[in-house]
Structure 1
Amino acid sequence: MNKVVKWGAPVLLTASLLTACGSGAADTEQGASGNGAGEKVKLTVWHNWTGQDAKAIAMRGILDDFKAKHPNVDLEVEGLPTDGLKTRLRTVAAADEMPDLFVMWPDAMTKEFVSGGLLQPIDDYLNSKPDWKNNFIPNALDGYTVDGKTYSVPMNLAPSSFIYYNQAIFDKYGVKVPKTWDELKAAIDTFNKNNVIPVALGNKANWVVQSTIFSTIADRVTGTDWFLKAAKQDGAKFTDPEFVKALTVLQDLGKSKAFQDGFNSIDENQMIQLYNQGKAAMFMDGGWALANLVKTAPKEVLDTTHITILPAVDGGKGNAQSTSGVVGTGMGMSKKVKGAQKEAAQELLYALAGPDGQKATLDSSTLVSYKIDVDKAKANPLFIELNELMKNTKISPVYDSKLSSAAVEVTNNSLQELLMGGNPEAIAKKIQDAQAGAIGK
C-alpha cells in the first residue's frame, strides 16, 4: 500500500452464507457449475488456514462446501503454516511450478510474482461483478495492482500490531494502560517486580517481532514517508540515524525485560497460551490473533481483555494513531490456469473472497477490507472493540510488505540478533545492504 489506508465507515450488506458462487467470463462453453455438470477439472490450492481458530475453520469450511457443490472439480488442497507457506511459495516460484490457486500477500510478494511472470490478472472476472469490486474499502486493491492490472483481492484486513492486555492484572498492580512511552516502560518495570511477564512474545517464526512490534515502532520513530523512501532506496537509507534509533528503541524494550526469557524458542500459539494462563499482562500481535483468543482464552481472561495500540515514541516523526499492517492476504492464480480450470478457480476465488466469504471472515472475529457491518448482537464484545478502534486508526506499512524477500529475511534474522544484544548500527547496515542489493541500487 503506497497510500495509508483508513478503515472506512461500513455499509450494511446482507448475504446468506455460502450460497452464491457466481460464474465469471468463461474461457470455454463448459464450466464448473454447481450441479455437477461441466468438464472435469483439477485444482491445486495452497493455504495457511491450518489452525483451530475461527477464521481458519471458516475458510476450510468454504473449501469443503465448494467441493460438495462442485463434484466435477477435483480440489487438491494443502495447508501450511504462514512462514512455511511463504518459504514454499518462493521455492516453487523459482522453479515456475506454482499451484493453481494460493494464498499470497500484497505489495512485495505480489510484485515479485508478477515480475517473474507467475500470475495472471483477474480484472475481467472482477469487472464482471461490479457490486463486489466496488464494495472494498478505499485503496484495498492497491497492494494487488501492478501496472494497472489487478491480480487478487484481500480476504481480510490485517493490521499487524496491537497490544492485547488483561485489565484485571493491570488493576491488581495499579498499572495504567500505557498512553505514553514512559507509561509503557513504567508498566514493564512494575510487572517485572511482581513476577508477571510484561509482554508475552513468541518469535520462533522470526517474522513475528518484525510484523507485530518493530514495524509499528519504526513507523513511530521514522514516519511512513521515510520508510517508503528507504524501501525504494530513493532519498533514505537504513543506515540513517532515525532507523538506528528505531532499532535501539526495540532493543531497549528487550533490555528492560519486556519479554519473557526464551521468546525466540516459542511460537505465536504458545505466546497466547502464556497470556491465557494469566502469566503475562500483555502480548502484541495482529488483528488475526483475536480469532484465536476468542476461541482459546478462559472466560475470566477473555472478559477482562482489551486492545490498544503502541504509544508514541518520544521525538518520533510518525502518526501515533496508526498501526502497521496490510489490507490482507489474497488468492493468487497461476498464469498456467486455463479454460474450464480457470473458470473453476474464479468461482472458488469468489467463494473465498466474495461477499459470502467476507461475511464468513467477519463472523469469525476477523477484520475485513470490505464494506460490511459487524452484527453487534452476535459478535464477540472484544471483536466489536477492535472494530471500533480501527475506525480511528490508520494503517502504516508493515516492513515485510514493502521490502524485498532478501531484505525481509535479513531483517527478521537481524531483529532476533538485536534482541539478543546485537549492535544496532551493524544490523542497520545488513538491512541496508540487503535491500540495496535486491533492487540494484
Structure 2
Amino acid sequence: MGRRLMKGVALVLGLGMVMGTIGCGGTTAQPEAKTSEPKQAAAANKENKTDEAVTLNFWHIWGAETDASYNAVKTVIADFEKEYPNIKIKVDTTENEAYKTKIKAAAAANELPDVFSTWGGGFSKPFIEAGRVLAIDEYLEDGTKDRMVGGALANVTYGDKVYGMTFGLSCGAFFMNEELFKANNIKIPETYDELITAVKAFKAVGITPMAVSGKDTWTIAMYFDAMALKAAGNDTIVKTLNKEGSFQDPAFLSAATKFAELVSLGAFPAGAAGLSKDESDIDFLEGKIPMLFNGSWTAGTVYREDSKIKDKVIVRGFPVFGDGKGNKNEFTGGAVDAIMVNADTKHKEAAVLFQKYFCENMARETYLAGAYLPAWKVDVDETNINPLTVQLAELTSQAEGFTLWWDTLLEGNDTQIYLNALQELLLGSITPEEYIAKLETIYQK
C-alpha cells in the first residue's frame, strides 16, 4: 500500500471532513503526510510529568471483545500507564446505544468522568453549550496539530475553539460476501436497480440478503443515511438537518420509499427489530448473509483471527440511484469519534496528556487493526494492514466528501425522533409518507 495511501487519506480528510459539520470551523489541510514516531504525544508532554499519583476515570464504547478496536484500546491504555506510572486509568465501558443515553445523562447532571469518548458535530454540541467540556486550544500549540492530518479537528471545533480530539476516519460501506454472490451467480450491485435484483435473487434461493439490528437503531440509520445521501446529495442533507430546508424535499420520500421497498422484499432478517448489533452480525460473520452496510470498522471484525469470512468479503459504496442527486464519490461518515475532557476535572494536565496520547496512538493501533483510517500522521508497517482496509482507502481516495451520520449531525431529542421513526419504517408500521411527516416534526419545536 505504501506512502501513496497515507497521502490519499490525508487528502480525503482535508477535503471532506468539514462537509457535515454544524457551525464548526476546519483546520488547514496538511499536504505532506510525513510520518511521526509513535507515542509523540507522550514525548511532547514529558515536561508535564509529575510524581503526584493521579487516577483518571475514562468512559468509552470499545469494551466488547468482538469490537475491532477492543485490543487497540487495551494496548494504548497499558502503554500509557507504563509511560506514566503515576497516572492510572480507571475504565468504564458501555455498549454504543446505551452509552449515548448514559453520557447525555451524565453531562446533564454535571457528572461526566475526567475523560470520555463521544462524537463530534451535533451530538456533543449540547455538552459544549452547557460548559461541560474543556477547550484544549492552549494544549495544541506544542506541535500536536502538526502531527494530525488536515481536517482532523473540524468536527470537534465549535465556534473558534477546539473541544476534543479525533483519532480515526470512519465511513459507511457495503461489506459483501463475494463467495456467496459467485456461488449463486448473482452480480455485485453497483446501482440500486441491481441491488433490488440481487435481493430478489438471494431470497429466491432462501438466503436473507442483508444484516441489520432493529434494536440498536443506529445500524438501521447506517442504511438510511447512505440511501438519503444517494437520493438528495450532501448539500440538501446538511441544510435540512440544520433546519434550513425541509424533509418535504422529494428526495427524502424517494429514499424512504426505497428503504420500505427493501423491507417489503424481505431484504432484512425476520425478527430484526428484536436483534442487537452483535446478534444481527452473527449470520453475516458466519457466512450465511451476503451483505452488511455498516461502518468501516467492520473491516477489522471481518479480519479477526477467528473469522470465518476472511478473504471472502469485498467492500463497496452504497449503490447509486438512477434518479438521485448523490454520486458514488459521496460517503457517510468522517472523523467524528472523539475523546473529550470534563471541564471540571481536578486533573486537567493529566487528562489532556492522556487525551492526546490516547488519540495519537489509537490512530496507529486502530489503523493496524483495520478499524479506522488514521487522523494522525502515523508510522506503521503498512504490509500488516488487512486487505479490506486497503480496499476502503482506495474506495475513498476519490471521495468528494463525507456527510456526518444523522444521529451525530442532529442535536438532542431530534436524533431520537429520527431513530424512532426509522425503527417504525423498518417494522412496516408506518408508510414512507408518514415517516417523512414524523421527520418534519423536528421543525415544529
Q: 1:373 to 1:249 in 2, by over 3 A?
A: farther
- Match for residue 225 of structure 1 among 206, 224, 235: 235
Whether 1:202 aligns to 2:223 is no
What is the DSSP-based 3-state SS (H/G/I as helix, E as strand, rest coil) of the residue aligned with 2:384? coil
Distance in 2 separating the partners of 1:179 and 1:320: 9
Q: 1:75 Cα deviation (Å)?
A: 2.6
Residue aligning to 2:10: none
Amino acid at match of 2:368: D
The residue correspondences of 1:104-143 to structure 2 (distance < 5 A) are 104-129=118-143, 132-143=144-155
Amino acid at match of 1:118: R
Amino acid at match of 1:255: S
Residue aligning to 1:357: 362
Distance in 2 separating the partners of 1:10 and 1:406: 41
Distance in 2 separating the partners of 1:187 and 1:19: 48
Whether 1:171 aligns to 2:185 is no
Gapped regions of structure 2 (runs ≥ 5) = 1-16, 22-28
Residue aligning to 1:85: 99
- Match for residue 54 of structure 2 among 33, 38, 41: 41
Q: 1:145 Cα deviation (Å)?
A: 0.6
Amino acid at match of 2:178: Q
Residue aligning to 2:322: 314
Structure 1 length normalisation: TM-score?
0.89
Distance in 2 separating the partners of 1:243 and 1:49: 33
Whether 1:404 aligns to 2:411 is yes
1:222–1:317 contact (8 Å) kept in structure 2: yes
1:326–1:397 contact (8 Å) kept in structure 2: yes
- Match for residue 433 of structure 1 among 434, 438, 441: 441
Distance in 1 separating the partners of 2:325 and 2:289: 30
Distance in 2 separating the partners of 1:307 and 1:144: 28
Aligned-residue sequence identity (percent) comes to 27
Amino acid at match of 1:326: G
Q: 1:252 Cα deviation (Å)?
A: 0.9
Q: State the superposition RMSD in angstroms.
A: 2.3
Amino acid at match of 1:113: F
Distance in 2 separating the partners of 1:373 and 1:436: 49
What is the DSSP-based 3-state SS (H/G/I as helix, E as strand, rest coil) of the residue aligned with 2:210? strand
Q: 1:206 to 1:252 in 2, by over 3 A?
A: same
- Match for residue 267 of structure 2 among 258, 266, 270: 258
Whether 1:3 aligns to 2:32 is no
Amino acid at match of 1:246: A
What is the DSSP-based 3-state SS (H/G/I as helix, E as strand, rest coil) of the residue aligned with 1:157? strand
- Match for residue 83 of structure 2 among 51, 55, 69: 69
The number of residues matched between the two structures is 418
Distance in 1 separating the partners of 2:443 and 2:406: 12
Structure 2 length normalisation: TM-score?
0.88
- Match for residue 276 of structure 1 among 258, 268, 285: 285
Q: 1:370 to 1:75 in 2, by over 3 A?
A: closer
Distance in 2 separating the partners of 1:380 and 1:9: 25
The one-character-per-residue Cα deviations of 1:143-196 (angstroms, maximum 9, x if unpaired) are 11111101112111121x211111111111111110111111110011000111
- Match for residue 342 of structure 2 among 334, 338, 358: 334
Q: 1:372 Cα deviation (Å)?
A: 4.0
Whether 1:379 aligns to 2:391 is no
1:376–1:384 contact (8 Å) kept in structure 2: no
Q: 1:279 Cα deviation (Å)?
A: 1.2
Q: 1:325 Cα deviation (Å)?
A: 0.7
Amino acid at match of 2:294: D
Amino acid at match of 2:396: M
Residue aligning to 1:181: 192
2:273–2:427 contact (8 Å) kept in structure 1: no
Residue aligning to 1:419: 426
Q: 1:208 Cα deviation (Å)?
A: 1.0
Whether 1:303 aligns to 2:311 is yes
Distance in 1 separating the partners of 2:220 and 2:386: 27
What is the DSSP-based 3-state SS (H/G/I as helix, E as strand, rest coil) of the residue aligned with 1:314? coil
What is the DSSP-based 3-state SS (H/G/I as helix, E as strand, rest coil) of the residue aligned with 1:253? helix
Gapped regions of structure 1 (runs ≥ 5) = none
1:44–1:100 contact (8 Å) kept in structure 2: yes
